[in-house]
Amino acid sequence: MNHIVIFGECMIELVTQSARHLVKNFAGDTFNTAIYLKRCAPALQVDYLTAIGNDAQSIELCDFMQQENLGIDWVKRSDTRHLGLYMVHTDEAGERTFTYWRSESAATQTMNLFTSPLPDTELFYLSGISVAILDDSQRHVLVGKLNDLRRRGAKVAFDLNYRPALWKNSTEAREWADRLYGMADISLSGVDDHAQLYAHHSVSDIVLHLSQFSIDEKIIKNGASELVVNTPDGNWSVPVEPARTVVDTTAAGDAFNAGYLAARAKKMDAVEAARYGAKLAAFVIGYPGAITPPEKALPAL
């Protein structure tokens, strides 16, 4: 695999350092995955598909993407909207809470601005958040474009990443999640997300639900507990490497997804890829914020 397109939203991230001190970064679930994927596999072409504004913050984001060697040919511009923003507060245990300002962001109009077919690629990656921020008509456009892309031979990877506040109700969220699962070749979803959306409280419940879809690789993340890898070749439990230090759990799942896809791009099998994804996630949560400093070397792949 030589080329991956990742779709979603990048926002301004403000991390609370003290009551009057914030640190600004750029982050977002699929954007975090794109950054870590490119860092893990520098030879892989990683393009990010989104919409941004023409304001100073959007220009800074484009500069940052280029510094991280992400492809920006599929970044669309809005003349009337700008980047969304979120603020992170992290407690002493490394758990975080978020406050968002994103409803009028440029990314919520991506499919209205993206009028051409999706770019040819070997893999297209998106999350439940990527779909949730779009209105219903844009979701239908996205699904149509994905079907066209699949007919051209591309595979689809999907992470449920359920955020209740982004959906009208759970019924709507389940309908669209199942539609995306029905298009996915790789699923990278977590037990917590399935518990919230489907009331699936065990890995076996999730495997049973996903068995109705033609998903070749089902990867089920379960926090610090063992991962489950389910493929046509078998079913495996993969121990999670414990983190030496937990500073901030932001982007743990995003980093896992990046590590998994990077390893699969390098032709490692699904179990080896899951092990590496877990190792990368353990590394990332040892640093504050979603994106680790570029000078910090990632675990060897």
Question: pTM score, two decimals?
Answer: 0.94
State percent of the chain over pLDDT 70: 99
Number of structural domains in the chain: 1
Q: Which two tokens stand for residue 1?
A: 């695999």
Q: What is the mean pLDDT of residues 63-69?
A: 97
pLDDT of residue 52: 98
Q: Are strands 11-18 and 85-90 parallel, antiparallel or unpaired?
A: parallel
Which of 279, 187, 266 has its CA nearest to residue 238?
279
Query: Which uninterrupted H or E stretch holds 23?
Result: strand 21-27
Structural domain range at position 247: 3-9+29-81+109-284
Is residue 290 in a domain? no
- Segments in 41-181 forming alpha helices (H): 56-67, 110-113, 128-132, 136-151, 170-181
> Does 20 reside within a domain?
no
- Assigned domain for 46 exists: yes
- Domain annotation covers residue 268: yes
**pLDDT tens, position by position, 98-135:** 889 999 999 999 999 999 999 899 999 999 999 999 99
CATH label of the domain that carries residue 37:
3.40.1190.20
Spatial CB neighbours of 14, under 8 Å, sequence gap ≥ 6: 22, 23, 24, 85, 86, 87, 88
Q: Which of 140, 127, 175 is nearest to 9 (CA)?
A: 127
Long-range CB contacts (< 8 A, 24+ apart) of 232-239? 235/207, 236/270, 236/271, 236/274, 238/271, 238/274, 238/275, 238/278, 239/278
Note whether residue 133 is domain-resident. yes
β-strands 3-7, 123-127 pairing: parallel
Measured from the Cβ of residue 248, the count of other Cβ atoms closer than 10 Å reads 20
Q: Is residue 144 part of a domain?
A: yes
Q: Which of 19-28, 99-108, 131-140, 267-276 has the lowest mean pLDDT?
A: 19-28
- Give me the mean pLDDT over the 34-57 stretch: 97
Instruction: Please check whether residue 78 is in contact with residue 52, taking contact to mean a CB–CB distance below 8 angstroms.
Output: yes
273 burial level (CB within 10 Å; 0-12, 13-18, 19+):
buried
How many CB atoms lie under 10 A from the CB of residue 126? 25
How far apart, in whole angstroms, are the C-alpha atoms of residue 224 and residue 210?
Answer: 22
More confident call, 246 vs 177: 177
**Tokens encoding 151:** 């007919």
- Tell me if 230 is assigned to some domain: yes
Give the length of the chain: 301
Quote the CA–CA distance of 227 and 203 in Å, as a whole number.
9
Element (H, E) at 194: helix 191-198
Residue 295, in any domain of the structure: no
Cα separation of 224 and 232, whole Å? 25
| Torsion (CA) 293, 297, 298, 301 in degrees, nearest 10 | 150
pLDDT, tens digit (0-9, with 9 covering 90-100), for 186-216: 999 999 999 999 999 889 999 999 999 999 9
* Whole-number pLDDT of residue 247: 78
Query: Does position 94 have pLDDT exceeding 70, yes or no?
Result: no
Q: Which residues form the catalytic set?
A: 254
Rg (alpha carbons) of the chain, rounded to whole number:
18
User: Taking all residues of the chain, what is their mean pLDDT, rounded to a whole number?
Assistant: 93
Tell which residue, 233, 262, 208, 35, has the closest CA to residue 220. 208
